[in-house]
Amino acid sequence: MAVSISTHAHSSSQAHQQLEAEQKTGARILCEALEQEQVEILFGYPGGAIMPFYDALTSSSLRHVLVRHEQAAAHAADGYARATGRVGVCVATSGPGATNLVTGLATAFMDSVPIVAITGQVARRFIGTDAFQETDVIGVTQPITKHSILVRSVEELAHAVHEAFAIARSGRPGPVLIDVPKDVQQATTAAPAPCRPTAPFRPAPTASLDEAAARAAALIDAAERPLILAGHGIILSNAYAALRAFAEKTGIPVITTLLGISAFPESHPLSLGLPGMHGRAEVNHAINASDVLVAVGMRFDDRVTGNISQFAPKARIIHIDIDPSEMGKVLTPTVPMVADARIALEALTTHVAPVRHDGWMATIQTWRREAEQNGQTPPAPHASTDADACPEPQEILAAIRQATRGKALVVTDVGQHQMWAARFYGYDQPNSHLTSGGLGTMGFALPAAMGAALGRPNEPIWVVAGDGGIQMNIQELATIANLGLPIKVAIFNNGYLGMVRQWQQFFHQRNYSEVRITGPDYVKLADAYGIAGFQVLRASDVASTVERAMSIDGPVVIDFVIEQEANVYPMVAPGQANINMIHQAPSAGGSR
Amino acid sequence: MNDSKLMQASAATTTSERYALVLLMMDRGNALERVLGTLRRRGPTFSTVNLVATEMPDTARVTITVQGTRAAADQAVEHLRKLVDVRWATVIPATGSGETMLLREFALMRVSCGAQHRREVMALAERFGARVVDIADSTLTLEVSGSSDTIEQLLGLAQPFGIRELTRTGQVAI
């Protein structure tokens, strides 16, 4: 272990002591800078190169949550940031501590989540010598951070922290990493560099917004089959009311992308739901027929568009995004509007004429009924006729909604359950659905829910995860138990890596390759962590077990043993147009 | 298909040309790495990169020559503008024609040249404003600066004598 010794010398002279009294260590400055940023909570894990910071931490006002793996620290900071709209903070030591943050940083980067990661680094004189636990974390994380700063002197430290927070939360939010050498944490200074207020790096071009809004409004007013595609930008800019006002004035139905879920209440008559690969059939039909798409705070992800050359073939596109590089990245919009979602929607709302699109809505409703009648869209949750049948995914989600009166904050992992949770819960509360959309990080849900639970302590938090993903960060049950966080964990256990299995069934002739997965006895596992655990084998026990979980104050794990080969429908094969949806499994054939 | 929508809408977005990306960048930390990393992942392929000092302390001018469509070059500049250390960025055709910005490059070339051809090569150099910076038994070394076209022309005319070695800086902008 590389131990660096503070070069700060003690002196007996009184004058020097007085001077020393004003001196602060880098570690102290770091804590104070975080306090000034009104950070309340950090998620982290100590180690050699970050020890001076942890030493100073005990005499600060900062609350620290000790996770069981640094990846969880990054996801927890991410979950906290998504749930609260504040900047999440995670801390790790150099080397393996820092590299363990990588997946969490990439997750936050893809989904535009503001987090600040603080990593210890080996002392400056050891940098570049392959010192113990040395990693070039700035280099490693360069493509997955919005910015990163290696702090080269104690004088620069406070400014670096404030700059990191300003960058993380400004414009399109994202993760920023601050790498602090151990000797910078130990060094002292009485004269930190002044914290220059960080100017906005890219002032939004507000001057042209009005003109763009007028052009967009002309398109919208003339549209016969318009649609709104609402994404994460609505939630990030707190534009719920602006979106609703715009939709209601124009009568335009609202599609919400995976990260746009809970940007618009699903019980609203204009709500259409999820588009794309596992979207609702009528939503994909509507996009195919649409003549004007108002895309707000979304980036035309391939899971939304399917084959891009056949996406919305008749539509002119109004693209609103705060990030200018999104304009023309995937599709070239007819009217680009580079602006914050709320500001752009408010500008649009003043320009558009009040309209209703009853005929267009009726057409979409017809597609919806046809899809349901043809079995193309799974029906709304219903009581199972066979009490001994397996719990059905939509029944579990309906039971959670019922037991929480729709007030749950649902944090999902990645896979089939993620799509079921996106489709069958019915999100009405703003920002009540957190998931890893862009990166698709299995193992996200449990640690992200810890951050969400600490950020929104008075809300019921439900984790919805598969039996694959839950095992990727299951160690965090210890953190959850330790803190007594009231997180209810619903494991959709089919004994398979379900989404991969579904692809193998559909596209690889049922050649099931390494998708059978075992797990522990989750009831015993929960018990081992001191957490209440239940297993549900029958549909008839779903609602009562969910109710029981809600009656328990602390964390609960429920192992829902669902049908092994349940599939997510509809499904669009990769590379296909979204209207070419698969509604049933290929006829059995091939070997398993 | 809506013609205004897709990337392959017009010739300007499909024809591959050379462009110069010109940035003013805070010269600190790993700023250049971030610029190049962004281009590596998102941008058109780049052939030359020059980072030079400017009249402003801590600010470097970076000129990057890329090959690709105008749309790809524009998109690359938008991504570069997002980098915190990039304070200003633009894209111009690498010919520099019709632009207020000037593009120049510098080259050193060692031309095979016995005593019998010296006069000829020196005359060639003079025509292009190149300086002879070294004379050896069998070579002449020329130093030239100018537009990329100028350097290409000189190279073309020196080619028959034989070019032993060539160092081209690539373009720098002002």
Do residue B78 and residue A142 have CB atoms under 8 angstroms apart?
no
- The answer, yes or no, to whether residue A98 has pLDDT greater than 60, is yes
Give the distance from residue B72's alpha carbon to the nearest chain A alpha carbon, in angstroms: 9
B134 touches chain A (CB under 8 A): no
Question: Catalytic site residues of A?
Answer: 70, 132-133, 182, 499
DSSP collapsed to 3 states, B105-161: EEEEEEEECCHHHHHHHHHHHHHCCCEEEEECCCEEEEEEEECHHHHHHHHHHHHHH
Domain extents in chain B: 7-93, 103-173
Whether B6 and A315 lie within 8 Å, measured CB to CB: no
Of A149, A313, A324, the CB nearest to B29: A149
The mean pLDDT of A338-354, rounded to a whole number, is 96
Say what the pLDDT of residue A141 is: 97
Give the nearest chain A residue to B5 (CA atoms): A332
Average pLDDT, chain A: 92
pLDDT of residue A1: 36
Statement: residue A258 has pLDDT above 80? yes
- pLDDT of B15 reads 87
Q: Which of A135-139, A380-384, A399-403 has the lowest mean pLDDT?
A: A380-384
Lowest mean pLDDT among A265-269, A449-453, A567-571: A567-571
pLDDT recorded at residue A205: 54
Give the model's pLDDT for residue B43.
82
Kindly tell me if the per-residue pLDDT of A213 is higher than 70.
yes
Name A177's bridge partners: A117, A148
- ipTM reported for the complex, 2 dp: 0.85
Q: A3 falls in which pLDDT band (50, 70, 90)?
A: very low
Give the pLDDT band of residue A351 (cuts 50, 70, 90). very high
Shortest alpha-carbon distance between residue A143 and chain B (Å): 7
Q: Does A180 touch chain B (CB under 8 A)?
A: no
Mean pLDDT of A531-560: 97
> Which pLDDT score, from 0 to 100, does residue B67 have?
94
B3 touches chain A (CB under 8 A): no
Please, which pLDDT band fits residue A384 given cuts at 50, 70 and 90?
low
Q: Is the CB of A150 less than 8 angstroms away from the CB of B29?
A: yes
Contact between A314 and B2 using a beta-carbon 8 Å cutoff: yes
State how far the Cα of A117 lies from the Cα of A565, in Å rounded to an integer. Answer: 40
Positions in chain B short of pLDDT 70: 1-13
Mean pLDDT confidence for A386-406: 92
> Fold for domain A384-568?
Rossmann fold (3.40.50)
Residue A333: list chain B partners with CB under 8 A: 5
CB-nearest partner of A325 from B6, B71, B82: B82
Q: B103-173 belongs to which homologous superfamily? A: ACT-like. Chain A, domain 2 (3.30.70.1150)
How many Cβ atoms from other residues are within 10 Å of residue B3's Cβ? 8
Average pLDDT of the segment spanning A275-299: 96
d(CA A311, CA B8): 14
Q: Is A317 on the interface with B (CB under 8 A)?
A: yes
Distance CA A278, CA A103 (A): 25
The mean per-residue pLDDT over the stretch A343-364 comes to 96
Topology match between the domains B7-93 and B103-173: yes
- Judged by a CB distance cut-off of 8 A, whether residue A315 touches chain B is yes
**pLDDT exceeds 50 at position A88:** yes
The most distant pair of C-alpha atoms in chain B lies apart, rounded to whole Å, by 67
- Read off the tokens for A493: 């256990």
B interface mutation test: which of A116, A137, A147, A334 has the most B CBs within 10 A? A147
- Over 80: is that where the pLDDT of A539 sits? yes
Q: What percent of chain A has pLDDT over 90?
A: 87
CATH label, A14-189, candidates 3.30.750.24, 3.30.565.10, 3.30.70.141, 3.40.50.970: 3.40.50.970
- When CB atoms are compared, the residue of A138, A201, A323 closest to B30 is A138
Q: Do B79 and A325 touch (CB under 8 A)?
A: yes
Classify A192 as helix, strand or coil: coil
**CB neighbours (10 Å) of residue B7?**
18
Q: Decide if pLDDT at A174 tops 90.
A: yes
Q: Is the Cβ pair A138, B6 closer than 8 Å?
A: no
- A332 Cβ under 8 Å from any chain B Cβ: yes
Q: Compute the nearest-CA separation of B28 from chain A (Å).
A: 10
Of A251 and A204, the structure prediction assigns the larger pLDDT to: A251
At A381, the pLDDT band (50, 70, 90 cuts) reads: low
Domains A207-371 and A384-568 fall in the same CATH topology: yes
Residue A195 has pLDDT above 80, yes or no: no
Nearest residue of A to residue B9, measured between CA atoms = A332
* pTM assigned to the model: 0.92
pLDDT band at A192 (very low <50, low <70, confident <90, very high): confident
Confidence at A379, pLDDT banded by 50, 70, 90: low
Q: Is the pLDDT of residue A19 over 70?
A: no
CATH T-level topology, domain B7-93: Alpha-Beta Plaits (3.30.70)
Chain B residues touching A151 at Cβ < 8 A: none
Among A65-69, A278-282, A411-415, which is the least confidently predicted range?
Answer: A278-282
Residue pairs between chains A and B whose CB atoms are closer than 8 Å: 63
Distance CA(A413)–CA(A571), nearest Å, equals 19
**Tokens matching residue A368:** 């919806």
Token pair, residue B26, equals 């805070």
Domain edges within chain A: 14-189, 207-371, 384-568
Bin B58: left if φ > 0, else alpha if -120 < ψ < 50, else beta.
left
- What DSSP state is assigned to residue A383? -
Q: Are B89 and A209 in contact (CB under 8 A)?
A: no
- The answer to whether B55 faces chain A, any CB pair under 8 Å, is no
pLDDT of residue A16: 55
Asked if B83 is an interface residue toward chain A (Cβ–Cβ < 8 A), one would say yes
Q: Per mean pLDDT, which range of A170-184, A339-353, A371-385, B89-103 is the poorest?
A: A371-385
Quick one: average pLDDT of A113-135? 97
Q: Which residue has the tokens 């059995």?
A: A588
The superfamily CATH assigns to domain A207-371 is TPP-binding domain (3.40.50.1220)
What is the predicted pLDDT for the residue at A17? 53
Neighbours of B116 (CB within 10 A): 7
* Chain A contact present for B33, CB below 8 A: yes
Question: Is A345 part of the contact surface with chain B (CB cutoff 8 Å)?
Answer: no
Contact A84, A114 (CB under 8 A): no
